[in-house]
Structure formats: C-alpha cells, structure tokens
Chain A
Amino acid sequence: MSFASPMIQEPASVPEPAVAAKVAARHVNVHYGEKHALKDVSVDIPARAVTSFIGPSGCGKSTFLRCINRMNDTIPICRVTGEITIDGKDIYDPRLDVVLLRARVGMVFQKPNPFPKSIYENVAYGPRLHGMAKNKTELDEIVVNSLKRASLFEEVKDRLNDPGTGLSGGQQQRLCIARAIAVSPEVILMDEPCSALDPIATAKIEELIDELRSNFTIVIVTHSMQQAARVSQRTAFFHLGSLVEEGSTEQIFTNPKDKRTQDYITGRFG
C-alpha cells in the first residue's frame, strides 16, 4: 500500500476526556507474578453504550475486563497499577468496599453459572444480600422485573421454584444476566457471554444486550468479530497486552487505522 499515513503506528495515547465516560482507565498495568499481562492501557468507556474488547487469546482483554470490578484481587500473584475510575471515583481506593463495587459493576461469564438454587433464588440472592427489598412483595417485584428485563420471564414464570440449572444453556445465561441486573448495577461486564450458546440463544442474548444498553454501560469481551460488530458502538483491539486501537465499531471494522488491527479482523494473524 502506497498510502503510508493510515498505517503509521502512534504511541499509545491517553484519550481526550470523552463526553460521558463512565469508566476511565489511565496507564493501567497488570502483572501476574513476572508476567506483564497488561501494558499501559488508557481508555474511556462511554456510559449507556456497548464497548467490545477483541483480540487473540492471551492479549489481555479479559484481564482488563476483570480490572473493572477488581476480580483480579482474588488472584494473589496479580498486581494492578495505574488508575481506573467510575464516574470519576477511583475504584482502587483502599477505602472502597469491593463488595459494593461488584454490585455496581456486575459480571456475566463465558459459561452460564447459575447457583444450584431455584430460578427465583438465583435472582433474589443479590438483592437480599444487599438489603434492597424491605419485604417479600418488594423482592418478588425485583425478581420479576429482572427476569423480564433479561427477556426470560415469559419462559419461566410458571416454574420459578424449579432449579436454575435445569434451564437450557441460553436460558441459564439469561438467568445470569437477570441475576446481574437484579442488584441494579451501572456497568455490566460480559466475558464471552455467547461462546457456549447456539446461534438462536446467541441472537437472543444479542437482542437483550441491545435493549440493556439504554440503561447500562456494557463492556463485552468476545472472540466473534461479527458479534462485536453487531452489538457494540465502540470497539477496542488488544494485542500482546497492549491496547492497539480503540474507536467507533464502524471505523474499526471497516477502516482500521493500525495494521495489526486490520490483520486480526481480516484473519491474517499467523
């Protein structure tokens, strides 16, 4: 290609303050013991939008996702430096209650992992733990609303006391999303939420993500480029622990600026 300018690799820059950045990361580094897993990542994640993280396995995208609700704290050898703020407040402030943080920043995992309890109890667990309901009526309301917002209520309304593990994979994943939204989080992190689901269940989750973004800030890690292109408004590409490129999803998938991004999304990574 003779036009060299779009391919020039600029040093990792700190983004300009975005209009409504819900989550802002600045110079975040993560070490697992000796391994430098995440290198100087700075990015803004806008509120009420879906941001997708893409990149090959081991590129640091899940590591970064897990920094946003301090899931990495559970790994003893993991060391996180830099700054991550939500609404301008440092989430690594030692005075911060991590349990409360995780209520504000919910998470949905790759494999649906409902508690070995009833459908009702799966959703009611969080609100009860956080004392969000004064009585049974209020708790019922939260459970029904959460199931409705997760597009699952119609399918399970007659068997709320059946075990959650008895649902199909796609239903289980929507149950996990209902469980996450029951505690009224502001941010929902999804780590490959559809990789264990069939195309129909995947389409339902994608439809749900699109509905949820009017109320939540959603960050999704996905290996499916088409999924990232379909569900997100912003896309960030990670490679070898660095954030290579971040931009509007449209731009990343039609005209990426960095050659590494282009090689990855077009299937040219060796």
Chain B
Amino acid sequence: MADKKNWGVLAEFDTPKDIYHACESIRDEGFKHWDAHTPFPVHGLESAMGLRPSKVPWIVAAGALFGATAGITLQWWSMVVEYPAIIAGKPFFSWPAFVPVTFELSVLFAAFGAVFGMLGVNKLPTFNHPLFTSERFKGHSDDKFYVSIESRDPLFDQRKTKKMLKQLGAVHVEDVVEEED
C-alpha cells in the first residue's frame, strides 16, 4: 500500500494577466520551489517569476565548437594523414574546400546542443510527475494557467499558501499528493 504524501498545492488561473500578477507576488514573497504552468510561453512571465537566464546558449556554443573541431579534424585526418591524394594539383590540406563540411557539422552539433541541451536542463523526459495526478491540471495544455508551490519550500504552509493563492485571484486551489512506496 502506497503512502500518500503532500507534494504541494496547485492553483488555477483564467488569464495570462492573472497569473502574471500572481507570479509577481509569489516571487516577492520569496518562494523558491514553485513554478507556473501555461499552455504557451506567456511573454514576460520569466521576469515576473524572477527566473535566471537560460543556460542553453552555452550548450549550443559548445556543440558548435565541437562540430567545427570534429569537421576540420575529420577532413584533415582523412585527406592528409590517412588517404592523401593529389586532386587537381591542390595541396592536401586545402582548407577552403573544407569550409562547407566544417560549417554543416558545426550547425549539426549546435542543433544537437540546443535540443538535447534544452531537454537535459529541463530534465525531460519525465513521464511521471505528481502534477499529473490532478485531473484539472490537464487544462495546462489547453486554456488554463497554473501555479504550483511545492511543500518542500521553506515558506510553504498548507493553509496560508492556499489562502494566499486564492487572494491572488486563483479560481481553484487544490492539494497535490505524491505516492511513495
């Protein structure tokens, strides 16, 4: 028999404007372990939540550098070291001819960095999450806006936090439980 533990609370809002102002207040209260869930990226919500800039650009830059290095090394090694051949009387290391492949590989690995870096930073895929136990939470991919505050936040207090969310304009507030074995 699985024990049920309180994971946190979930508050539903109707409009981007409501959640925007709610997030500003929660940020100013000083909560740390909380999140907003929206059907689309609400413009400016990241600053209303006080989020730090994304780390993804660094991963993309690393990917691009790796791709460029791999491209030039592959071409140098196969055309100069492993299988040198005189083609049209050109030097073995004809770097101008190596530009297209180097460029394409930089782009390829930069794209890998962007996609897999984004998924990695977001810890996706995560198929199981306490929020998915809420039936109402399904609206997050349709037309509803949610704030979730986790019980592990030092400022969390079941009763007070729910009251605060109601005051911030939430149309519905519920507890979210997680199952433990």
Q: Does chain A bind chain B?
A: no
Q: B-side interface residues toward A, CB under 8 Å?
A: none
Q: A-side interface residues toward B, CB under 8 Å?
A: none
